[in-house]
């Protein structure tokens, strides 16, 4: 048994009867690594870890890397880090995976500590390391240092790195630096546009926001946002303005009620986020039917009071939806677990675990 197995043994089940790996002959490192790919439940990861120990293939780098990733995916970041620490000479890939796992869950300090540890070992970051670390930078100083480093490594032009840099400057309130990156993007994605608009909105630079909306409204490739909500083991998908669900009438009544309630709490719809050239009322309507709001409305009418609402979205949440979901968690007393393109948000009692940085 390897040192790693000895440390994480408490999660190992005593039998691997249900792994289904023993029936297929010799258990090789490749086979275990293959089975671990995409594995995201703690029970299954523990089973495969136990099977790897019995077969003597724990300690294989591919197996260890995938175990680290599987423990992180199943929520046991502590075990993922333990495995990383026990891996002899971990490479950039091991660290990047751990940094991404922490940063995407809003554990920013831990993500940055891992980055610092990695750099301390003389390992060179990849574009993925940088784009995973930048969302963890709250202050501009560290973000600027990483930007300089990205330049030195000739990675600043990588589209993921550039998007992450733009987000970092936008969050930090340096609209000029964010805009400079934005203007250099050959094909700015909607994520970058939203980050830019949010930045302008926060700073009250509404003219800039309007100018950007108008300038880019025609040219931006917009992937349709889609939110999926889990109700009674079934998954229901919504796109913005969706009216295809059989309970559409009830969903829209709930949506209206949500709108009234959040306004009573002082919420002002962030209509400057709407890219189209519409009047205020139409912009409010466009915002109100964002897919994640529809998913929450459906969650509210179709689950028992007090039940957690779970939503997954393919894009980043806009700041209006983020603000509304926070208030809804407070008003209804519901916990809302929301996974967007970048990270997990746990909305509880009016606040979010991302600390409003996402």
Q: Which residues bind Zn ion (CB under 5 A)?
A: 290, 318, 321, 345, 352, 354
Residue 353 CB, shortest distance to Zn ion, in Å, is: 7
d(CA 48, CA 32): 7
Residue closer to Zn ion (CB basis): 55 or 275: 275
- Residue closer to Zn ion by CB (options 301, 348) is 348
| Minimum CB–partner distance for residue 184 and Zn ion (Å) | 26
> Based on CB atoms, which residue is closest to Zn ion, 112 or 321?
321
Shortest Å, Cβ 325 to Zn ion: 8
Nearer to Zn ion, 69 or 290 (CB): 290
E strands in 242-330: 309-313
Question: Could you tell me which residues come within 8 angstroms of residue 151 by beta carbon, excluding any fewer than 6 positions away?
Answer: none
SS3 133: helix
Closest separation between CB of residue 286 and Zn ion, Å? 9
33: tokens are 């690594």
CB 135 within 8 A of CB 167: yes
Contact 115, 128 (CB under 8 A): no
CB 232 within 8 A of CB 271: no
Which C-beta is closer to Zn ion: that of 196 or that of 354? 354
Closest separation in Å from C-beta 20 to Zn ion: 38
The torsion region of residue 356 among left (phi > 0), alpha (psi -120 to 50) and beta comes to: left
Residue 143 CB, nearest distance to Zn ion (Å)?
Answer: 19
Q: How far apart are CA 183 and CA 190, in angstroms?
A: 13
- Reference 105, options 118, 114, 94; nearest CA is 114
- Least distance between Zn ion and beta carbon 290 (Å): 3
CB of 128 or CB of 293, closer to Zn ion: 293
- Counting beta carbons within 10 angstroms of the beta carbon of residue 333, is it exposed (0 to 12), middle (13 to 18) or buried (19 or more)? exposed
Closer Cβ to Zn ion, 155 or 296, answer by number = 296
């Amino acid at each position: 048994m390897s040192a790693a197995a000895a440390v994480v043994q408490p999660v190992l089940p005593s039998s691997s009867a249900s792994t289904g790996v023993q029936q297929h002959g010799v258990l090789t490192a490749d086979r275990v690594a293959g089975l671990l790919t995409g594995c995201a439940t703690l029970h299954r990861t523990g089973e495969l870890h136990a099977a790897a120990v019995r077969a003597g293939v724990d300690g294989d780098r591919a197996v260890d890397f995938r175990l680290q990733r599987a423990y992180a995916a199943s929520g046991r970041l502590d075990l993922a880090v333990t495995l990383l620490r026990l891996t002899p000479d971990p490479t950039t890939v091991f660290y990047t995976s751990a940094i991404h796992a922490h940063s995407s869950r809003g554990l920013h300090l831990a993500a940055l500590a891992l980055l610092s540890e990695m750099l301390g070992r003389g390992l060179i970051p990849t574009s993925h390391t940088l784009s995973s670390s930048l969302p963890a930078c709250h202050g501009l100083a560290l973000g600027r240092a990483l930007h300089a480093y990205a330049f030195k490594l000739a990675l600043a032009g990588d589209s993921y790195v550039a998007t992450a840099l733009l987000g970092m400057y936008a969050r930090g309130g340096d609209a000029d630096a964010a805009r400079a990156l934005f203007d250099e993007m050959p094909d700015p994605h909607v994520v970058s546009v939203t980050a830019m608009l949010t930045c302008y909105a926060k700073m009250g630079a509404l003219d800039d926001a309007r100018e950007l909306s108008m300038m880019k409204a025609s040219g931006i490739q917009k992937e349709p946002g889609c939110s999926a909500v889990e109700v009674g083991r079934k998954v229901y998908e919504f796109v913005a303005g969706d009216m295809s669900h059989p309970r559409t009438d009830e969903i829209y009544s709930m949506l209206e009620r949500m709108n009234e309630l959040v306004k009573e709490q002082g919420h002002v719809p962030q209509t400057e986020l709407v890219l189209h050239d519409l009047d205020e009322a139409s912009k409010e309507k466009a915002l109100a039917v964002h897919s994640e709001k529809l998913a929450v409305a459906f969650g509210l009418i179709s689950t028992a009071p007090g039940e957690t609402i779970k939503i997954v979205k393919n894009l980043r949440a806009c700041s209006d939806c983020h603000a509304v979901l926070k208030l809804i968690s407070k008003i209804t007393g519901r916990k809302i677990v929301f996974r967007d393109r970048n990270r997990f948000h746990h909305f509880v009692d009016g606040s979010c675990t991302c600390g409003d940085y996402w």
